[in-house]
Structure 1
Amino acid sequence: MDTVGRFLLHITFFLWSMTAVEIAATLIAPVSMPGCPSYCGQVNQIPYPFGIGTGCYLDDWFQIICDNSTSPPKPFLNSTGLEVLEINIEGTLKVASPVTFSNCSHKPSGRQTANLEGSPFVFSQKNRFTSMSCGGIGLMTSLSGSTIGGCLSICDDTSNALRNNSCSGLNCCQTTIPSSLSAFRTSFGKITNAERAKLCKYAFLVDQDWFTSDSTNISDIGHMDNVPIVLEWKFFSNTTFNINGTTNSTDIDKNMDCSGDNCFCSMGFQGNPYLLHGCEDIDECEDPVHFNRCIPGICINYPGRYQCVFPDPRQSRVKLAIIVPISVLGLLFLLVGAWWLRKVIKKRKNIKRKEKFFKQNGGLLLKQQLSSGEVNVEKIKLFNSKELEKATDNFSADRILGQGGQGTVYKGMLADGRIVAVKKSKIVAGGEVGQFINEIVILSQISHRNVVKLLGCCLETEVPLLVYEFILNGTLSQYIHHQNEEFPLTWEMRLRVSIEVAGALSYLHSAASFPIYHRDIKSSNILLDEKYRAKVADFGTSRSVAIDQTHLTTRVHGTFGYLDPEYFQSSKFTEKSDVYSFGVVLAELLTGEKPVSVLSSQESRSLATYFLLSMEENRLFDILHARVMKEAGKDEIMAVANLAQRCLNLNGKKRPTMKEVAAELEAIQLSVKFSNVQQKFAEVHYVRSEITEPWDVVSISTASCMDSGTGSSLDVQPLLSFKSF
């Protein structure tokens, strides 16, 4: 029975531990001041006396600046400008410190470790001064110039020391640093060998634990700008310490000790001693070591300590008869309770996580657009994250259709069997989120067969997702610039695609409910569906304007090679800026060349400039694509080329509108079809003439052999029937 009792106690403790871990995860003691941020980027704990924001730190020395312009954000110690990598409440922090280079062509010389004089920070003796060179001397000198440390490395070209992550004196040497060091300068001693003196060498102070870690390859340090070092922080002797905003000694937590340079939680307590009631009791009975010591007794936790209470052996059998059934019931209750609690906690976490992502991804902005009536709600479906994860196989790399500046596009299949394209943002930042919401607003107002259709969006994930109809045959750019033997880009197809794109842009400019400027027209943003019809895509930077508005004044945005020079100079984007970009696409279709070619000569580097120059010098037919020359007539080519030339006019007012462009292209297509019909009619007429002449000869000769006119009439009838055809 004793064995059964112990077994049940072990099981009960195990299940309780699982539940306790779940509860502890949601009740983690705060480390920062109330209402202050406790993390920045990958640094997930910024404990008081450090802090971000006014009133969140002890004094200016402990102020942390969170730079949100980087991804992920980075925290910096405002007093020194050093990037913070980790903060330990027990009195240390890790920061990024520069490497000092000399005679290294790929790195600037003269960078020095930060000067900490006058601050509460000193360099920890956990660091090592390290010099890496071929027979070089690395020196540490005081600010006054006296030498305070250094080391000499022996030159050995055959050594594998660096490859084995060893710094034993061959090409690398290390030395300890003095205690309480707050400032020094790094320099290099003279080397008698003149050739070696010219070699690249570098020295640095570094956290020895990081340096010797299996994950660190010290051969790569020569390509780094910074390495981690450990600083120790202490309070000044005259510091008046306020704990959580109170100076009343009776309010200060008794479970802490601030008698030295730093504060610590008393034995049996843990947490942040610099916060009021920041030191919390450690439940030793949750530790299996302490718990097992009390078996077969009971472990009882007290503030700062624990106690084992052992039962009377004579009463153990009687009590065991009671304990067993109660333990079984308790075990069942605990299992059900743990399962339920875990489910509730997980559900709450998911809800809060989705709410956080919804706000982060512009959900409030979208709500504002919905309430203002700018978004057509009926056209936009809100997908959930699980549905899209399943559709894209958890955004597998095998499902990637393309990548751009705004995000990555994945191929997916919804539960109803529809194939879709899912666009996922690369970086969660204000600008990118704004572009995603803008794209939803713009596409919800558009209904055109040659504009890619937006099916819906998902804002409850870490980055926003947009769901489009899937366009099967890739981009127009792929067909122009890469040979496709299975489906070559014929002249007829080039002309039809240009008409479809021009029609879509004409619709955006003049037929939509509000005029819309695309602002990024290029061949890679023109998709081809299963019937090779054009679909204009990527409306992330598009803008709608008032009907009476003639231009947008914005920060210059676009793709080099397609960018309107007039817009680049004035920052004023008009509908004629889209016309210019379309003119570059026409030039691509005619020549097969890329809009920008870095390998070409100066005059032909920009396709637009090269095309205009060729038109002025009557050298158009020297730059045309071979298939265009082979399949298109000279008049058709010249008509399209002249239109492209007008679209690329440097004066935007002299460019045609997209409505005029679409009409001219349709007229050119109509003339091509009419010319083809005439050619076919001429071929048919020629064949008829060839067949008719022998027929007439036979008829005449047959008639002459007949005795009556009846035979003649029989011969004439088939001839009339043929001619009537």
Structure 2
Amino acid sequence: MPAMAATTPNLQAIAVVLLLSHLLAPASAQLQPLAGVARPGCRDRCGNITVPYPFGIGAGCYRDDGFSGFQLLCDDSRSPPRLTISDSNYQLASLSLDAGEARIYLNATRQCYKYNDTGIEASIGGRNDYYMFPTGSSPFYFSSAKNRLVAIGCPTLGYFVDTAGYFVSGCTSVCRPSQYIIPGQGSCTGVGCCESAIPPGAYYYEPYTLNLRQAALDPVFNDNATTCQYVFLVATEWFNNSYSDRTFFNRTDDFDVPVVLDWAVRNVGNCSAAQRNNTDYACRGVHSECVDSTNGAGYQCNCFKGYEGNPYLDDGCRDINECQRKDKYPCYGDCTNLPGNYTCKCRPGTSGDAYTANGCRPNDKFTLALKVVTGVSVGVFLSVFMCFWLYLGLQKRKLIRTKQRFFEQNGGVILQQQMRSYNSAGAGAAAGGFKIFSKEELEKATNNFSADRVLGRGGHGIVYKGVLEDKTVVAIKKSKMMEEAQTKEFAREMFILSQINHRNVVKLLGCCLEVEVPMLVYEFVSNGTLYHYIHDKDLKADITFDTRLRIAAESAEALAYMHSSASPPILHGDVKTANILLDDRLTAKVSDFGTSKLAPNDEAEIATLVQGTCGYLDPEYLMTCQLTDKSDVYSFGVVLLELLTRKKALYFDGPEEDRSLVSCFMTAMKAGQHEELLDSQVRKEMRADVLEEIAHLVMRCLSMSGEERPTMKEAAERLERLRRYQQHPWAQADGNPEERQTLLSMEQQDLPSVFRQQDVLDLEEGSTYTYSL
């Protein structure tokens, strides 16, 4: 590879000296020193060239990020002083901070030949230099946008290669007599001169020429061959302004040409990478921004619009006083400087556009009249607006009074008093979980009760999924109606329900009372209803008998807790599979107290309206209109039957005699064919003795007389005993029937109450639960 070329101009050539003088003068004139352009205490000039930071002369004056190209050397012993890049020794002719450019001078590669009648006689000298910047440690690349590769002389091929010797760019220049040159084609179109673009990302430049003259060619064209052929990288603008056939075509000497370099901060990549690595981020100015480099990886820094200075220095970008630079920021009125901007208004007595010449004109009568009309119009508008604002204020006050009336009507004042007294009595932990929500809170939580938030619809209302401000997911029930008698007792009953703390009962978190029909806020249970689990689930999918028995036992425990351990007792009133929810572990949670009420102190109290769901309603309740705890037992019996059969409580598409699941089961029991009604998975897993026990329990729960039905407490204990028996190894084995009968008798013995204070029951293998009242 050729030796590194000297980049100094040939001072012995008068034409080149004049050329350099001509080129350096305008470049230096454009780069006037700016305040704070260099680091404090550092040189900001070398001769007539401004040196802005991140470049610098001397230790501590340049950006030291491993890219030594920011370090510059100034040789003051020369006249004028010579500024060079420290890692390449190339002389800088100019350096621009805003454009991210620099300009150097490189020698044009030259090859000269002596010709005879048969072709090339001998090469008579030339030079072939290469130029490069160390990749990975220099901020400079050759500009692909502002340079071009040029070959002059003919006939020749001019090209350059990269570090691996691969072709990068090139062009061919041919010879023609002057009479064959078409006027108007330009000065460098392939005849005696050719040019080509270079790709971005080039940091290495090794030019070559290849002489194409052959004796076999037409002598007319060979006679026009030039003695020397050149190839060089050159600034496009300079070449367009300086090249002519007369100037370059037949020259044989050495000369330098200007080359534009793109520089950027390249040690960490683009802007996003640099901003993540904030300790080495180059854009230090408060009013500066980062711009990705357009030539290779890296970035540059610019001051915001309305600011100027050096964005690479702390507080280097300073506000421009546009009012003092009217040549660039025109104002033909009263100018006011603002941070990063300015305003321009017409002077008093005139109006119009103060940013354009002759844009402000004296006010006339028509303009005055227009202003009067405008003023009157504005006055009328303001009056109408004030009336409208007052109307909105009155409507808002009316809405507030309506909300307050509903709040008091629904017992909100009483509920607040109960909560305060309960907290002051030392039970704040329990009552603290209950909250009175505003209507706006619930509207925001449900996206204004959007249709896509609906979880379910029932006879008593619609349930929406909501997300509170603290990200708690809840279920919000918006009821359709409520009897006046229920309204009077609503607040007291809600307060009592909020204190229920049982793992198989959906927790009531709060309510909204400032609406006509109160809304209830429950904890959100993720896995849907038991109804959907057993009926909408793929009928081929198995549900184990143990899972069904556990869900039934947990539901019975929850109802028994409400009947026996709540104070006062609570009757559910609408027990069905759609009101039993399942969480992600299929734990049962009894929900929907839409028809719930406190057990009446007066046994003679009779409901004015029978509520519930067909297929689950207690026949005795239908006849007497009196809701009792045995009404919930009957409904639970239907739920238990659904679990065992996977059949719905009512079928409206079958024969009339087969529409009721209860009726079908009663008929099958009398005929001894009840086993055929059971789901195939239940028949497969359940023992015959367990079948008889659970069928007997179902029959007792579905008795027409409430007195003959068991209590929910008895039903819960019976189901738990059957579940234990079903899980016991003796029951699962095919061994001695006497052992199974002994085990079943043991399970039928009385157990301690599951609802006594601080009793602990091992309900599931490895699980212990404590219930406290």
Q: What TM-score, normalized by structure 1, do the two folds share?
A: 0.46
Per residue, is there more helix in 1 or in 2?
1
The structure richer in strand per residue is 2
Q: Which has the larger radius of gyration?
A: 2
**Which protein has greater RCO, CA pairs closer than 8 Å, 6+ apart?**
1
Question: TM-score, with normalisation over the residues of structure 2?
Answer: 0.43
